[in-house]
Copies of this chain bind each other. A is one copy, B any other.
Amino acid sequence: MFISSRSFEPPAMHSRLRHLTTLENLPRSCIERLLDRALSMRDACAHGTRKLDLLAGRTVLNLFFEPSTRTRTSFELAARRLGADVINFDIGFSSTSKGEELFDTLHTLEAMHLDAIVVRHKVSGTPEELVRHAMSGVSVINAGDGNRAHPTQGLLDVMTIREHRPDFENLAVVICGDIKHSRVARSDVQALTAMGVREIRLCGPAPLMPTQEEFPRCTFVEDFDEAIGGADAAIMLRLQKERMSATELPDEAAYFARYGLDTRRLARAAKGCLVMHPGPINRGVEIASEVADGAQSKILEQVGNGVFVRMAVLGELLGR
């Protein structure tokens, strides 16, 4: 069943976003609007609507300077399901493409009359640089920049939590792992803060922890047994194996013993604590298989919501 795009237009009374580079300073009302839209798209899909025509004739370009099949695929599906064309512009992943060269690429792409550029780059701040240098009406969507932001991940995480626990003011959320280098953690903290969550606990090996100054709103807890205690949601971050050596932990088993989420630890959390992970998971490193596959795991819900959140963002930024 194909349905018209009309019913997916958001209510009028708001200033529409033109870019999405970070969740910083995004008001709760705006986040909720995006989540509501994602939800209505998910409902339509569940009722057999496979494709909308909201972005028919629009072109979305995936500009990935870091490889990421999952996120790229999620954006590609989101754009296609809104009727947009998608172009994958695969820049050599070896070349960092900085400065002038990056802006020349941007301007070249703009000159081809694109509607949106979904960008991933290892240098933090690249999406804002693209916004600053954009000359046309192109929208920039950050699909992850350095350790700074991954806003659609932040949105899909609060969408997943909201579905099960809409009472954010009562929730304690723990984020565990390599917080220091994690753009997911940063976007999650911003999204959760905007949603008015009661408490955010950050936990991880000391060398992988950020400064308290950067996260004044968060509680730093060294011991994961303590951090998980009474938590309503646990967001486990993926451990980049090359970071391992920075810690005092000799191997993955040692990491798992200290920071892995297993059934024993999950039992310390609040009843029904949501288990989350941005994926791909390292079983037996961040998370035990029985927890990843258990009833409390929302990991695949996150993936599903990711497509709808990205549809909502594209609709917000590009919709007529």
**What residues make up the interface of A, taking CB atoms closer than 8 Å to B?**
2, 45, 50-51, 56-59, 61, 69-70, 73-74, 76-77, 80-81, 85, 87, 89-91, 100-101, 104-105, 107-113, 279-281, 283, 289, 300-301, 303-304, 306-307
Contact = CB atoms under 8 A, between A and B. Distances in A.
Contacts of A307: 112-113
A111 B301 contact: yes
Contacts of A56: 2, 50-51
Contacts of A105: 280
Nearest to A100: B283
Given A58-B50, A87-B77, A112-B74, A100 B301 contact: no
B76 A87 contact: yes
B108 A280 contact: yes
Contact of A73 (B74, B87, B279): B87
Contact of A57 (B50, B77, B107, B289): B50
B51 A112 contact: no
Contacts of A2: 56-57
Given A69-B91, A73-B87, A87-B76, A108 B57 contact: no
A299 to B, nearest CB: 8
A87 B107 CA distance: 25
6 contacts: A2-B56, A69-B90, A73-B109, A104-B281, A104-B283, A112-B307
B113 A45 contact: yes
B304 A100 contact: no
A45 B59 CA distance: 13
A141 to B, nearest CB: 18
Nearest to A115: B50
Given A2-B57, A77-B87, A100-B283, A108 B51 contact: no
Given A59-B80, A70-B108, 9 more contacts: A61-B73, A69-B90, A73-B109, A77-B85, A80-B85, A80-B87, A108-B279, A111-B301, A113-B304
A81 B113 CA distance: 11
A58 B73 CA distance: 15
Given A104-B280, A108-B279, A281-B104, A69 B89 contact: yes
Given A2-B57, A104-B280, A108-B303, A89 B113 contact: no
Contacts of A58: 50
A70 to B, nearest CB: 6
B51 A111 contact: no
A300 B111 contact: yes
Nearest to A69: B89
Contacts of A109: 73
A283 B101 CA distance: 9
B80 A111 contact: no
Contacts of A100: 283, 289
A304 to B, nearest CB: 4
Contacts of A300: 107-108, 110-111
